[in-house]
Structures are given as C-alpha cells and as structure tokens.
Amino acid sequence: MVPFFCAMMVGILCGLRVGGRECAKSAKEGLRMVKIRRLVVVVVPLLAALLLAPVAWGQDEMTPSVEVSDQGIENGRVVIDRVVSDGPGWIVIHIQEDGQPGAIIGYAAVSDGENMDVSVEIDVSQATETLYAMLHDDTGQEGTYEFPDGDPPSQVDGEIVLQSFTITGGMRPSVTVEDQAIEDGMVTVPRVVSDGQGWIVIHADDDGSPGPVIGYAQVSDGANNDVSVEIDTEMATETLYAMLHTDSGEMGTYEFPDGDPPVQVEGNIVVQPFQVTGGLEGAQEATATPTGEEEEEEEEAVLPETGAAAGGTTAVALALVVGGVVAMAVGILIRRMRAVRRARIDDSD
C-alpha cells in the first residue's frame, strides 16, 4: 500500500508540473492554477492520511496480544475471547501460584493473525480461582507443543504476552492432602475445591474405610487453601480421611448425617486418606512402656494375690528343716549302731 501511495503522489506532482506549464500561457489560466495548487495542498495530506491509516491500524492489529473475560468453566473448558499471534502459536492456560503464573493445565493451537473465541480444555481438578492465558510461539515442530523444551512464551517489548482472568464457577470439587502430625489438636488440608459452600470433614479409620467423624470446618465456594480442622485427638487413628461435604441444609450449620451429605463427582465421593505421623495421644497412652519402678510395683501387687511367692518360700524352708532333721536322725542312728557293734566285739573277747 505504501508503494502505491508513493506512485500516486509522484503522478500528482508530475501532472501538476505539466499542467502548470500549459496553464501558465495566460494570466487567467495562471490564476486558475494557483487555486488548483491551493486545493492540492489540502487534498494531498488528506489522501495520505487516509492511505496510511489502514497500514498503521493493520500493524497494531497484528501485534501479539491476548484478550479474555472472567468466566465459569463449562464442560471442562475456558474460552479466550481474542488471540493475535505473529505466526503459529499456542494459547496456554496456567494456574496461579504465589500470585504468578504456575503450572500448565491446558493449551490450544492458534494460527497466524487473529483468532476469536479460542476454546481450551483444562484440568479442572487443578484449576485455581485466578488463571492466566499466555501466548506461546510454535518455534519447534509445528503443531507439537514442546514447552518447556521449546515453544517459549511470546514477548512484546520484553514483556510476556499474557492476561489473567477469574473463574466464577464450574470448578471441579477436589481435596488435596498430605501426611502430617497432629499439632495443637488440629490437622491441615492443603487444598479444598468446593462447588458452592460446604464442609471439609475428618473421618477416623474403620477397617480401611472412613469411620466416625472427629472434626470438620467450613469451606467457601471455589478454592480453599490450608484449611485447619480441629479434631478429637482421642478418637484419631493412624489413617484419617478428609472428605468434602455439601452445605445443603441450613447454611453454616453442620447437619450430617441428617443433612449435608458427602460430595460426589461421577458417582465417587470426594475423599482423600492421609497418614498421621505424630500427635496421637490415645495411641501413645495405650502403648506406653512402663518404667522399672512401675514394673516392681506391678510384681508386688500381683504376686501376693496369686500366693506363688509366699507359698514357694514356705515350702522351700520346710523342706530344708525336714532334710536337716532327717540327716541328724540318720547320723545318730549310725553312731548307735557302731557303738553296739563295738560292745559286742568287746564281750566276745
């Protein structure tokens, strides 16, 4: 378009030059030429502006950019309103971590130029309330997403092309746990995603399945991080279960089992087990090792009741006395028998 404009300007100037020469032959025609030239001074800049404006507008339109609105997740997808890419690329959805773009939960290919209403399938279970739509270049094997080994984020003037947006609904209910010790009668559930207001409920173990409830805490709609739950430590088991319940009855009042049932996704209860690595007071008391003094006290308390110690000592003493008496009697008898034999020998002599 620029070459066309230049050629047109050259043509106009040449025409004015030739026309001016012809028209200068008469004063009347000269006056007319002055008017024409004045008109040209006004018209030419207007024509230049009209011709150059689409060029500049087109350049702005092709600057890589991302436009996205706050929205709910529908059928596991989010929609990016508009993506402008300088060549083939990718629109990539990142979760939020510490206020910055974090892990990738979905991506979709975009073509060179303008792309409208780009639908991106995401991992709903990992979605956060704030997501980031980031433009990446397709610089490696075209059509194959290769980040982080390739396909880096697109940049304009040294800034990554991205746009944050808020999820207003449709997050998939989930519970994320980790093994931990009980501290101050509390356990912590790192992340709970609830579709509406609900409860995170801690169940004790009952033969490998969730058993009695030993604690619960309220959670809000969407993602909840580091939820602390006070529990009954005396009822705690080595394995506990963090289960998501709805708040479907009186809001703010825990009503299970009469109400507020467990949340289910595709027919499965949203629950995760975790191991208790310390703080089990009941188990420690039950398995405490007795001290030496406690063992002696137990022996003193138990042995007299059975009579084993007293009866055994008496029997041994009695046996020793009887044995001594028998030994003395045998010794006396032997002496007498020897004395009688000696007397008989003397009499015979």
Q: Which residues of the chain have pLDDT under 70?
A: 1-61, 282-319, 321-322, 325-327, 330, 340, 343-349
Global confidence as pTM: 0.53
CA distance 324 to 75: 101
- Give the integer Cα–Cα distance in Å for 85 and 290: 74
Q: Which pLDDT does position 59 carry in this prediction?
A: 46
Largest CA distance in the chain: 207
Q: Distance between CA atoms of 61 and 83, rounded to whole angstroms?
A: 10
In this predicted model, what pLDDT tens digit does every residue of 154-204 receive, in sequence order?
A: 999 999 999 999 998 888 899 999 999 999 999 999 999 998 899 999 999
pLDDT in the model for residue 200? 98
What pLDDT, on a 0 to 100 scale, did the predictor assign at position 284?
46
pLDDT computed for residue 7 by the predictor: 47
Among candidate residues 154, 29, 159, the one with its CA nearest the CA of residue 90? 154
Q: Cα dihedral sign for 16, 18, 22, 27?
A: positive
User: Beta partners for 228?
Assistant: 188
Whether 140 and 130 have beta carbons less than 8 Å apart is answered as no
Domain 174-284, classified CATH 2.60.40, yes or no = yes
Query: Rounded distance, CA 153 to CA 329, Å?
Result: 113
pLDDT score, position 84: 97
pLDDT of residue 346: 64
Residues 105, 127: Cα–Cα separation, whole Å: 7
Picking from 162, 138, 132, the residue whose alpha carbon sits closest to that of residue 90 is 138
Q: Rg of the chain's alpha carbons, rounded to an integer? A: 48
Give dist(CA 182, CA 274) in Å, integer: 12
Measured in whole angstroms, the distance separating CA 293 from the mean position of its chain's CA atoms is: 50
E strand segments, 74-112: 77-85, 89-97, 100-110
Domains 65-169 and 174-284 fall in the same CATH topology? yes
Topology (CATH level 3) of domain 65-169: Immunoglobulin-like (2.60.40)
- Taking the domains of the chain in order of start, what are their residue ranges? 2-61, 65-169, 174-284
Let me know: does 243 contact 236? Beta carbons within 8 Å. no
And the tokens for 34? 């002055």
What are the tokens at 329? 């009697």
Residue environment code for 293-327, b if the CB has 16+ CB neighbours within 10 A, otherwise e = eeeeeeeeeeeeeeeeeeeeeeeeeeeeeeeeeee
Question: How far apart (Å, rounded) are the C-alpha atoms in residues 123 and 263?
Answer: 19
